[in-house]
Structure 1
Amino acid sequence: MTQKHPRAAELPEIFARVTGLLLTEPVVDRAVANLAQAAHQSLAGSAGAGGTLIDAQGRPTSTASTNSLVQEADRLQYELGDGPCLSAWASARAVRVDDLRVEQRWPEWSAAAARLGLLSCISVPLLVPDVTGHGGPEPIGAMKVYSDQPYAFDEHSEEVLSLLAGSAALILANLQARERAATLSEALKGALHSRSVIDLAKGVLMERLHVTERSALQVMITRARAQGVLLSGVAQGILDQTEIDRTP
């Protein structure tokens, strides 16, 4: 089957477009969606594409598809725990399937995907350098392109998709790290706020009941257990009631 691939002169333009799309997205999910769309547009014969970030246990943490067929094919992989996308991630190598009707590496998934009308596919890992320097690149996910024709992709397709993945992986990893840091920061702010609320409520009870700090804390703990709520919730309730009592 004759393929029309991007000419060598077109590849830098493709990479620049993908990098630009990812760098303008502050959210991982939208960046993965842009990557999926770029992969779909970059390979002739594509019936759809997807991108997935995968954690160390093989669970997808962020996934995007260009259409419902790809979404269903990917869902089946995650449900079965088997398929070319997961294999590309686990092996850190490109995986190509020429005809899903006869593919035996993942027989259950292949048969189901063929029934959807997908007959060939190619998956490549998203690789980032090992910062420890003790191992090879670390796969953080995979991107894949499907076709409704057999033998739609070849070695050049693998090369193009691998190059796209290489230009995208580090950006996606940095976006992931930034989102995790932001989540941690919000959690820390919440913890500090809760601690402050508890300390203030203790002071209110110490003054109101003429008890020690330890006794005030015990009163709050007892209320929290009786009401089935968090200690910070009891503390906030005490402060709210104090504010009400002070209102003329």
Structure 2
Amino acid sequence: MTGTEDADRWGGESDADRTGMSEEVLAALAAHPQDMADLVDALSPRVTDQESLLRLMQKVSVQAVRLLPDVRWAGVTAQFDGDPFTCAHTHHRVLVLDEEQYRGGDGPCLRALRSGRAVHADLDELHRRWPRMGATARAVGVRAVTAFPLRAGAIPAAALNLYCTSESASARLDVHLPTVLVEYLQRGLADFVAANPQKTSHVQLLQAIYAQTVIGRAQGVVMVRSAVDKDRALDELTQRARQRRLPLWRYADEVVNTVPD
């Protein structure tokens, strides 16, 4: 039964209308039922603040690597009221390539963000249009980059960046899955902007990124010192921060900065 026939059967109401899901999500569900079930479960929590937005960005980056052929690394670049910066990444190679674009003021992710159109560049095109980035991509094993623009309502806000090990990766990308990832990110960005109308979003996200980074480093210190796993280390940090009446990130910062060289 086609989407039109189904809509006719239900008095003009389509599957998307009844389920609240977009046509892209429904198509991806039909093509990849188990993968999409896991994806929807992972990405369904709504964004309420900067921490939940960063969690969503990281989850989408991880899911992109898991679901998309030849995508080895992924990340999200955001730009609100300041310079662009990397909000999420699955490997340090993402940071290296992103920083090369930021320093040069151009590249696939910045071009996608500014133009509102997806940008794909294989290694030859990277060398031709952005020589320094092309050299860096070759050095770290990246053979193609695909960047999808992300908007918060009408505002260009970010880009989902996929770093591939094959120059023909874009030809094998399932058209629906990246669309679904972008859709969830755009919903999260819209939620965040609606909850933070003041022009402090850039600063808030940078602070949240620092907090997450320093907490992760402190977890590593506690894991080594106390011979516990990651969850127990976080519990220990949280308990001690409460005893000291400090924010978790501030106590974590103390832990990291008291580690001997």
Give the TM-score range, shorter chain.
0.5 to 0.7
Identity among equivalent positions (%) equals: 26
Residue number in structure 1 paired with 2:79: 54
Q: After the TM superposition, which residues 1-248 of structure 1 pair with which residues of structure 2 at under 5 Å, given as runs?
A: 8-10=31-33, 12-13=36-37, 16-20=40-44, 23=47, 27=51, 28-55=53-80, 59-61=83-85, 63-97=87-121, 99-103=122-126, 104-130=128-154, 138-154=155-171, 156-157=173-174, 159-178=176-195
**Whole-angstrom distance in 1 between the partners of 2:106 and 2:134:** 10
Partner of 1:126, secondary structure, is strand
When residues 17 and 122 of structure 1 are mapped into structure 2, their CA distance, relative to the original with a 3 A threshold, is farther
Q: By how many angstroms is 1:106 displaced? A: 2.2
Change (3 A) 1:126 1:107: same
Counterpart AA for 2:185: A
Q: Tell me the CA shift for residue 158 of structure 1.
A: 5.3
Q: Which amino acid aligns with 2:116?
A: A
Quickly say closer, same or farther: Cα 1:118–1:61, change in 2 above 3 A.
closer
With over 3 angstroms needed to count, the CA separation of the structure-2 counterparts of 1:176 and 1:32, relative to structure 1, is farther
Contact 2:112/2:118 (CA < 8 Å) preserved in 1?
Answer: yes
Superposition RMSD on alpha carbons, in Å?
A: 3.1
- After TM superposition, give the deviation of residue 127 of structure 1 in Å: 2.2
Superposition deviation, residue 29 in structure 1: 2.6
Query: C-alpha distance in 2, partners of 1:118/1:9?
Result: 27
Counterparts in 2 of 1:16 and 1:8: CA distance versus 1, 3 Å = same
Q: Quote the Cα distance in structure 1 between the aligned partners of 2:45 and 2:96.
A: 25
Question: How far apart are the structure 2 equivalents of 1:23 and 1:56?
Answer: 19
Looking at structure 2, the residues matched to 141 and 69 of structure 1 have their Cα atoms a distance apart, in angstroms, of: 19
C-alpha distance in 2 between matches for 1:24 and 1:16:
18
Which structure would you say has the larger Rg? 1
- How many residue pairs were aligned? 171
* Whole-Å separation in 1 of the counterparts to 2:161 and 2:45: 18
Give the distance between the partners of 1:63 and 1:178, measured in 2 at CA: 18
CA contact (8 A) 2:86 2:98 kept: no
CA-CA distance at 1:126 after TM superposition: 0.9
* Partner AA of 1:38 in structure 2: Q
Task: Could you tell me which runs of 5 or more consecutive residues in structure 2 were left unpaired when the two chains were aligned.
Answer: 1-27, 202-261
